[in-house]
Amino acid sequence: MTKVQNFTGINVSKTSFNVAIEKDGKIQSKEFLYTEVGMKSCLNFIPSQRWCVMESTGTYHCRLANFLFENNIRVSVVNPLSAKRYSQALMSRTKKDKEDCQKLIEYGKGMVVEF
């Protein structure tokens, strides 16, 4: 069992999705339209060897999760209540898309392991 350190947080909504990466100790984020073009351009934003973490959002997350998986990017779709409780344990109370992506990076570091 190995702890993975290189995570990307993704927050998906009906018409767009936000992606946050950690690079050189700083968080960079970008919003993409939830279209074929948007999904393809997010591949250029996500560095190689990353593990993407996104919350289950009914059906909204499915198309993006499948797209990333088909492009050889590892993806974890997590229970939104679990991610929320993890964020609360860190004493975070923000509820903005950009900050949610950052919290998903932290969630990945703390909770996702590779077997």
pLDDT over 80 at 19, yes or no: yes
Q: How far is CA 99 from its chain centroid?
A: 11
The answer to whether 11 touches 101, Cβ cutoff 8 Å, is yes
Max Cα-Cα span within the chain: 37
Average pLDDT of every residue of the chain: 87
Give the residue, 9 or 100, on which the prediction is more confident: 9
Query: What SS3 state is found at 20?
Result: strand
- Residue 89: pLDDT band (50, 70, 90) is confident
What are the pLDDT digits (tens) for 58-82?
A: 889 999 999 999 999 999 999 999 8
Mean pLDDT (whole number) for 87-95: 72
What domains, with CATH codes, occur in the chain?
2-114 (3.30.420.40)
Strand pairing category for 2-3 and 51-55: unpaired
| pLDDT surpasses 60 at 3 | no
Handedness of CA 88, 11, 82, 71 (dihedral sign): negative
